[in-house]
Chains A and B, each alone.
Chain A
Amino acid sequence: MDKLVNKHRSGRLRSGIILFFVLMLFWLMLSSQLRIDVFVIGTIVALVIVLLYGDGLSFLTELRLTPKAILTGFQYYGYFFKELFKSNFKLAGIVLSPSLPINPAIVKVRTRLQSRMGRLMLANSITLTPGTLSVEMDGEWLYVHWVCMETADIEQATARIVSGFESYLEVMYG
């Protein structure tokens, strides 16, 4: 029992420290000067936020800090921007064609990801990729609005929508 509590505490401590450094990095980038008063104010504010919201998510929480995970992270962003461009051209095509060729549906897909951050990133990625928008999440089930529905079957829709990002996020967050 004690071990479990300790494990939980060390997890909180780790995510708190990560959150603190992310906040400080953003603050220093935003103020773009390294003066002592800027640094002190940043430290105080970051500490208060960490104490209040230590349990919250930041995009480094639960990220596995192995070389493979970091490399996959870069590949993930490459794939993400490619998909973002594709989705924009596809949408421009739909909007500009006079007949407005849409075939909307809300389909259900399933994810293998277990971590909170992995699921959050997956839902966000789905929203920004061609023709899909995450509407609701319920445990491992995701409800996705699809502008041009190709299949309503859960397995096939999962393969079409989720698999591309999931393979990267699984290595990064698990």
Chain B
Amino acid sequence: MEAIMDIIGGLLMVGGACFLLFGGLGLIRMPDIYNRIQAGSKTTTLGTLLTLAGAACLQPAWGWKLLLIGIFLIFTNPVSAQVLASTAHRRGAHQSPLTEVDRLAEDREGKA
């Protein structure tokens, strides 16, 4: 039984590491800050959750604490991503020339 849990835990951790790797790759390849935040926030959430789940399989005694870390992660990760994005937009960060529509800038100009 323990061997099976070890294998499942190991697989979950490898899966999490893969998503974190894709996130890192996204940070390098994406053209501007918004797309980079997109790559960073989604993959770190799932990657870290899978890693925590893997750790819980390997060390069931840590389960509650790992669950708690997971809950904090789900609630704080998107908030920090949103704050970064809105601050970047307010300071007029560089946007990729591929960007087609920017309703936020249009509305800001309309009000000003």
Chain A residues whose C-beta falls within 8 Å of the C-beta of B102 in the assembled complex: 105-106
Q: Are B86 and A136 in contact (CB under 8 A)?
A: yes
Chain A residues whose C-beta falls within 8 Å of the C-beta of B107 in the assembled complex: 108, 138, 143
Whether a CB of chain B sits under 8 angstroms from the CB of A103 is: yes
Chain A nearest CB from B83 CB (Å) reads 10
Chain B residues whose C-beta falls within 8 Å of the C-beta of A132 in the assembled complex: 38
Q: Are B100 and A105 in contact (CB under 8 A)?
A: yes
Q: Are B34 and A88 in contact (CB under 8 A)?
A: no
Q: Are B101 and A135 in contact (CB under 8 A)?
A: no
Q: Are A88 and B75 in contact (CB under 8 A)?
A: no
Q: Are A136 and B89 in contact (CB under 8 A)?
A: yes
Q: Which of A131-157 contact B (CB under 8 A)?
A: 131-136, 138, 143, 145, 147, 149, 152
In the bound complex, CA of A32 to CA of B66 (Å): 12
Q: Are B78 and A147 in contact (CB under 8 A)?
A: no
Q: Are B82 and A133 in contact (CB under 8 A)?
A: yes
Name the prevailing secondary structure of the A interface residues: mixed
| The stretch of A41-49, A92-100, A165-173 that contacts the partner chain | A92-100
Number of B residues whose C-beta is below 8 Å from A? 44
In the bound complex, CA of A36 to CA of B42 (Å): 41
Q: Are A143 and B103 in contact (CB under 8 A)?
A: yes
Chain A residues whose C-beta falls within 8 Å of the C-beta of B37 in the assembled complex: 133, 145
Q: Are A104 and B35 in contact (CB under 8 A)?
A: yes
Q: Are B82 and A123 in contact (CB under 8 A)?
A: yes
Chain A residues whose C-beta falls within 8 Å of the C-beta of B89 in the assembled complex: 106, 135-136
Whether a CB of chain A sits under 8 angstroms from the CB of B81 is: yes
Q: Are A103 and B98 in contact (CB under 8 A)?
A: yes
Q: Are B42 and A88 in contact (CB under 8 A)?
A: yes
Q: Are B41 and A104 in contact (CB under 8 A)?
A: no
Q: Are A32 and B64 in contact (CB under 8 A)?
A: yes
Q: Can you list 28 pairs linking A and B with CB atoms under 8 Å apart?
A: A29-B68, A30-B68, A84-B46, A88-B42, A88-B46, A88-B47, A91-B22, A91-B42, A91-B43, A94-B26, A95-B29, A100-B29, A103-B98, A104-B32, A104-B96, A105-B101, A105-B102, A108-B107, A123-B82, A127-B41, A127-B81, A128-B41, A128-B74, A133-B82, A135-B34, A135-B82, A143-B103, A152-B100
